[in-house]
Amino acid sequence: MRPTRFASNAGGMLPALCVSLLAAAPAPLLAQAKPAAAKPTPLEASVDRLAKHPAVTASFAALQTENAWTLDQQASICQIPAPPFKEQARAAEYAKRFRELGVQNVRIDKEGNVIGEVRGARPGPTLMLAGHLDTVFPEGTDVRVKREGTKLIAPGIGDDCRGLAVVLAVTKQVITQKIPFSGRLLVVGNVGEEGPGNLRGMRAIFAGPLRDSINMFISIDGTGFGVTNGGVGSNRYRVHYKGPGGHSYGAFGMPNPMHAMGRAIAKIADLEASTTPKVTFNVGIVSGGTSVNSIPFEAIMEIDLRSETAAALAEIDARLQKALREAVVEEKARWPQSKAALTLQIDTMGLRPAGTTPDTSFIVRASLAAARTMNVYAPLTISSTDANVPMNLRIPAVTLDGGGVGRGAHSLDESYDDRNDGYKGPQWVLLAVLGMLGVK
């Protein structure tokens, strides 16, 4: 899921197409721009050399010539429904495909995550490469994939069937080309990334036996070439105001739960929110009541708070809680003669931890270096993804896009367009992974 997306800086190179725009660019952009002729850093030079390794060049060629295979993986996985908490059928198929590729020790953990491993040629770090199995779509959604030229259209085709296909494509090359990398690659199809899942798949992995052995984490989620190194945290609540209710005329004069909720919404609407770090609030759903001439016995709303720092999220959360309680006090005070109860119940729908992997970290620099070698522009972005969990634990983590062009994520007309160079997505991910693990 990539709903919140804004560039944090231009830490990577600028795209070749943008060079002609530099003259018109404002000073800060020029300051961040790295001319194409700049001397590569040692890391960039080593990734340049890596791209010339015979096994890597063979993999790059295969990813291009076998691009139809990657797209078939993407489409066929997408046609297996995977609503939140109902990812089992897709998980079983994903595990089967890992086994067919020769991935070792493929298993499905208690939470439902598919986990397998590919051992390198020599000891080294452990990197987890994951795509998420779940979608936002309920059971019964038509998930048949339509093809129009280079475009695939289906709910979930980009988010995250693209990620799942890229993980398979990269895994296939690492195994079939016998790339002599160091360390261990853990390949994963995880559950519970989308809202209702509340990152349950990643929480389970990073609370389980693998936690202490994972040195680096990459989620493939989204399309294009973004590097997400900031994890937006969110707190989500379902809030109920309740009272006895009654006839709108006969029982008039008692606190009205709907009116109390209206007072709360007015307070929420007036909350001040900082822009740096970015803080957001939203009342997304309201419901309740039974008829126009009844004082409702219940009013319900769902609220989403977000920020890229844990401190800012805690601060807006405290102000929200205060507003919710004040609304009860004010609605009761409006009807001092009434003995009718008015209560507030706050259910937690989801708490996503916030976290950041610094721009200067090895994992971010290696991701950008791989993009530089491939001559693609990779912006740094902030979003809410599976990488939030390791980021919050200070384990180096990023979410990389899977190439191509996606449209309409989380909508029924979601599409993924491979255009003429979608294969560059898995090429980039492969090079970044190998740059992080090292190849002899």
Binding interface with Zn ion (CB under 5 A): 1, 159-160, 221
Neighbours of 420 (CB within 10 A): 8
- Is residue 214 within 8 Å of residue 395, measured between CB atoms? yes
| Other Cβ atoms closer than 10 A to 5 | 14
Cβ neighbours of 42 (radius 10 Å): 8
Q: Which is nearer to Zn ion, 162 or 263 (CB)?
A: 162
Nearest residue (CB) to Zn ion, 159 versus 417: 159
Least distance between Zn ion and beta carbon 158 (Å): 8
**117 vs 160 by CB, closer to Zn ion:** 160
Least distance to Zn ion from the beta carbon of 120, Å? 28
Rounded least distance, CB 216 to Zn ion, Å: 20
By C-beta, is 95 or 387 nearer to Zn ion?
387
Burial of 272 (0-12, 13-18, 19+ CB in 10 A): exposed
**Pairing mode, strands 122-132 and 182-190:** parallel
What distances in angstroms separate CA 358 from CA 332, 355, 402, one per listed residue? 49, 10, 21
- Which residue from 348, 311, 321 is spatially nearest to 236, judged by alpha carbons? 348
Identify which of residues 1 and 214 has a Cβ nearer to Zn ion in the complex: 1
Reported as half-sphere exposure (CB side, CA atoms, 13 A), residue 286 has a value of: 13
Type of residue found at 389: V
CB of 221 to Zn ion, least distance (A): 4
Residue number with CB closer to Zn ion (202 or 299): 202
**Torsion 428-430-433-438 (CA) sign:** negative
Shortest Å distance, C-beta 2 to Zn ion: 6
Least CB distance to Zn ion at residue 141 (A): 16
